[in-house]
Amino acid sequence: MKAFFQNHACRWSRCTAAALIAGGLLTIPAFAAEITPSATKITLAQSQKSFTVDVSLQESEQFAGAEFGLKLPDGMTLDQVEFLDQTIQDAAHTPEVTADGLSFFGFYAAENVFSGKMNVARLTFIYDGAADASIVLGRSKVVTVQEDGTTVGDTSSEPFTIEVTRKSSSSSGGSSFGNSSSGNTGTTKPEQPSNPFTDLDGHWAKDVVLEAVRDGLFSGTSATTFSPNQPVTRGMLVTVLHRMEGTPAGSGQPFADVASDAYYADAVAWAAEHGIVAGISETTFAPNDSVTREQMAAILYRYAQSQGADVTGRADLTAFADVSEISGYAKDALSWANASGLISGRSASVLAPKDNATRAEAASILVRFEQKIP
């Protein structure tokens, strides 16, 4: 294995990946990298099959690559690995293989070029089971290249466990947020995961954002940031709804600006097929455009209709001074969303229908949707 990192003909896909899985690299406890998931508790809706978790790695010493082996329960598969940090994207990647009962993924370079805290990858899992389950980091190896060209691997990082639970059919809504008059009472607020996001400290939506992350609806924009005040995009919003629905397949992509390999491609196809979203033209979806609060209400209104939910409730919005700014197409949707306790005003007199919805607002609204809309 000495020549592995020096010989481009010997890639991890043929040499080092196999050696890692077989334990063939020299292992010394030189240092222990900190490997952490973005959430340690995930709650899935009854019909939800897909969820995502980010994995980060922190190491003060320089290293040349890392590989991770996850022990998955019956009925769960690792469907996709999306490398996030730019330096890791630019590196080579080990093949995603299953060996010794573990699902492996990893990255490597020819030299010790990695260090610090890195958001390694966003993992998408598919789970068809009904029982509670656990994902365990069963094996990890952080590899360094020595001066003589040999490689050594450290396997002493602490493992992590992600608990996955599925809501039962008897589960009812949780705590209400915002100015809702129809929120459920007498329920216990779910346990929140630890907060990996430095930009949530002191933020009004901290708890509900962490709940959305725990439920697999959202993930961070990096290992340490959620970007709560960043506008939510059309692609983001339909992706979350698609996850809530259990990631069903669509019947074809009608929009020319949605690449087949885009993270939101399946979600857009599904949402368009069911009339939940429309393009800004017959061939253009504009996935990166921001979503306004009234647009979000309209999309949720159509999503609720597609679920057979009761959307007849209406609120009197005349108390809001900017009620006249609501677009005609969104009046019923915003009135319903307000009556349902999903969308409240930004103040007692301002609804801000044409303001962009932020990621924090979207997380809060979608958690409430799961709790309140049967």
Question: Could you tell me the domains of the chain?
Answer: 16-166 (2.60.40.680), 198-232+290-372 (no CATH)
Looking at residue 31, its pLDDT comes to: 53
**Nearest alpha carbon to residue 12 among 84, 81, 109:** 109
Q: In sequence order, what are the residues at sequence separation of 6 or more whose Cβ sits closer than 8 angstroms to the Cβ of residue 263?
A: 82, 235, 239
Q: Which of 241, 337, 228, 236 is nearest to 293 (CA)?
A: 337
The maximal CA–CA distance of the chain, rounded, in angstroms, is: 76
* 8 A C-beta contact, residue 140 and residue 155: yes
What is the distance between the alpha carbons of residues 104 and 17, in angstroms, rounded to a whole number? Answer: 9
**How high is the pLDDT of residue 117?**
86
- Residues 113, 143 contacting (CB under 8 angstroms): no
Contact call for residues 144 and 5 (beta carbons, < 8 A): no
> Buried (b) or exposed (e) across 136-145, using 16+ Cβ within 10 A?
ebbbbbbbbb
CA angle 180–185–190, rounded 5-degree value: 100
Q: Please say whether the beta carbons of 196 and 160 come within 8 A.
A: no
Distance CA 105, CA 68 (A): 6
- Which residue, among 119, 27, 112, has the nearest Cα to 62 in the 3D structure? 112
CA–CA separation, 95 and 18 (whole Å): 10
Contact between residue 277 and residue 245 where contact means Cβ atoms under 8 Å apart: no
Q: In this structure, what token pair is assigned to residue 174?
A: 């949780």
Other C-beta atoms within 10 Å of 325: how many? Answer: 13
Q: What is the Cα–Cα distance from 301 to 314, expressed in whole angstroms?
A: 12
pLDDT in tens for each of the 374 residues of the chain? Answer: 333 333 333 333 334 444 443 444 444 444 578 999 877 888 787 777 888 788 989 998 999 999 999 999 999 999 888 888 888 988 999 888 888 899 999 999 999 999 998 889 888 889 988 899 999 999 999 999 998 888 899 999 999 999 998 876 444 333 222 333 233 333 333 444 578 899 999 998 998 999 888 888 888 888 889 999 999 999 999 999 998 888 888 788 899 999 988 989 999 999 999 899 988 888 999 999 999 999 999 999 999 998 888 899 999 999 899 999 999 999 999 999 999 889 988 888 899 999 999 999 999 999 989 888 86
| CA-to-CA dists, residue 38 to 44, 76, 119, 213, 267, angstroms | 16, 19, 10, 8, 23
Cα dihedral 54, 55, 58, 62, rounded to 10, equals -110
Please, what is the Cα angle at 228 between 225 and 231, to 5 degrees?
A: 120
50-63 sheet: strands from edge to edge: 34-37, 50-63, 114-127, 76-83
The dihedral region occupied by 234, where left means phi > 0, alpha psi between -120 and 50, and beta the remainder, is alpha
DSSP state, residue 232: P
